Amino acid sequence: MAPVIALLPADRSAIADHDYTRQYVADFVERWDELIDWEKRAAGEGSFFFDLLRQAGAWRVLDAATGSGFHGAQLHKAGFDVTACDGSATMVDRARRNFDRLGVDVPVHRCEWQALDARVLGRFDAVLCLGSSLCHLFDRDARIAVLKRFRQMLKPGGMLLIDQRNFEAILAGRFTSSGRYYYCGNSASITLGELDEAVCEFVYRFADGAQYRLRVCPIRPRHLQEELREAGFRTVSAYGDFKPIYDVMDVDFVIHKAHI
């Protein structure tokens, strides 16, 4: 069984007031893999992340927002040395159970981002923050502080891969959830609730009538790139739905690649 270690920050001042972990209630997390559909998502992503990591010479990887463990498991099976963490206790439990079910030996840490400590976990060739997870932080300074912490966890020349919902299109009234790449399951629909420049609410409705909501900060991709540079990353590029050339109004997710 992969170990579960809880790390708590000494200073919570850089964590946003909105407690995102409360949104991931146990009932919702139990159905998270229905939303993802691991097999379809793996097919949609292909070797995209593996290729970027190998091109960068990265082997030791921190999956800093592991969720239910999809990327941690995929990376482990592809031969990478993976450490997984998440701030949500319910997600950590789900990831642990998925790893155990798959026979995947990936250490799992319940850890808020500002508690990440290279003296405890060591440094990594790459840090991944996927699932549009940084958008749980509503305060710009808090996001930059977390990005700086990610940079501190990297070895010299290390790489950060961070993705986000395409809020440029969403704020322009062009929300789509195609199901081609990320949320590939067919047991739920995803629609928008409250939406403005300060908050975006996603509503997940399952076929049996269950309904859950997630409220996040709608960070525009260009603003996140500015925050990456302010946090000390020197080379920043982006992909739309895994493609280097894309129409910003016609993709579901934007993936940023940044180096130190």
pLDDT category of residue 20 using cuts at 50, 70 and 90: confident
The CA-atom distances, in angstroms, between 205 and each of 21, 28, 30, 162, 210 are 20, 11, 14, 27, 6
The structure tokens 């992969």 sit at 2
Nearest to 30 by CA among 84, 68, 77: 68
Identity at 143, one-letter amino acid code: R
- Share the mean pLDDT of the chain: 90
Our measurement of the distance from residue 195's CA atom to the centroid of its chain's CA atoms, rounded to an integer in Å, reads 21
Residue pair 67/32 in contact (Cβ under 8 Å)? The answer is yes
| CA separation for the pair 216, 192 (Å, rounded) | 11
DSSP state, residue 22: G
Residue pair 44/180 in contact (Cβ under 8 Å)? The answer is yes
pLDDT at residue 179 in the model: 60
pLDDT at residue 22 in the model: 84
| CA separation for the pair 228, 144 (Å, rounded) | 7
Nearest to 63 by CA among 115, 125, 10: 125
Can you tell me the mean pLDDT for 6-31? Answer: 63
pLDDT at residue 14 in the model: 37
User: Is CATH 3.40.50.150 the classification given to domain 4-8+18-259?
Assistant: yes
Q: Summarize pLDDT for 74-118 with one digit per residue, the tens.
A: 999 999 999 999 999 999 999 999 999 999 999 999 999 999 999
Can you tell me the mean pLDDT for 125-139? Answer: 97
pLDDT category of residue 178 using cuts at 50, 70 and 90: low
Identity at 88, one-letter amino acid code: S
Residue pair 227/140 in contact (Cβ under 8 Å)? The answer is yes
**Is the pTM for the entire model greater than 0.85?**
yes
Q: Summarize pLDDT for 231-249 with one digit per residue, the tens.
A: 999 989 999 999 999 999 9
